[in-house]
Amino acid sequence: MTITLDYDEKIAVLNLGDDENRFSPVFLDEINAHLDAIEASDAQGLVTTATGKFYTNGLDLDWLGAHGDQTQWYVGRVQTLLARMLTLPIPTAAAVVGHAFGAGAMLALAHDFRLMRADRGYFCFPEVDIRIPFTPGMAAIIQAKLTAGAAVASMTTGRRFGGTDAAELGIVDATAGEGEVTAAATDLLRPLGQKDRGTLGAIKQTMFGPAAQALTAVDY
């Protein structure tokens, strides 16, 4: 399944797919094309969701293993997507319907709000266990969105947080039952639909400017 875009009234609903939804170059092309279309429309909010066991499993390690000479280019593209989502000038919510690992969890954090399934699925930064240190930009986006305690608990342990634990630490804003996460995320955004894009975008640029700059820096 490729990424698909639908609308619930004026809320754009972007479905990342029904497999692991890893960030292959094709995936990155598709999601950026959809974001272009959303920004060009009169959408008043964006929900990202998925179908199946995963919200997204993050970096495409198989592609990276076969294209090691393009690592810097690839990481740059991923981080540019994270920065774009972080500062998108419309309200955003991640409906974490399944597992969110690594850069996939960072994508969820880049949204304004996160809702997670209460009974199944994990939110996890496995970097410490798979021996991949965070880049400065990746660390910056996590630390911009989480308390110091939650950042330490998630970045240094590799712990897998279920929905309830993630909500208790403030990693996600709320939980919902099976089949209800995407609708709950959409309902969360409906009252925010009349925000001026220019003002909201400027506020996000101010709030998250340092993280966005770290993500889009040339040297990783």
> Can you give the residue ranges of every domain in the chain?
4-216
Instruction: List, for residues 177-215, the tens digit of each pLDDT value.
Output: 999 999 999 999 999 999 999 999 999 999 999 999 999
| Structure-block tokens of residue 69 | 């000479």
Residues 6+ apart with CB under 8 A from 29: none
Backbone angles phi and psi of 45, in degrees to 5: 175, 165
What class does CATH assign to 4-216? alpha beta
Residues 6+ apart with CB under 8 A from 24: 60, 63
Instruction: List, for residues 75-110, the tens digit of each pLDDT value.
Output: 999 999 999 999 999 999 999 999 999 999 999 999
Q: Can you tell me the distance from the alpha carbon of 62 to that of 27, in angstroms, rounded to the nearest whole number?
A: 14
pLDDT confidence of 2, banded at 50, 70, 90?
confident
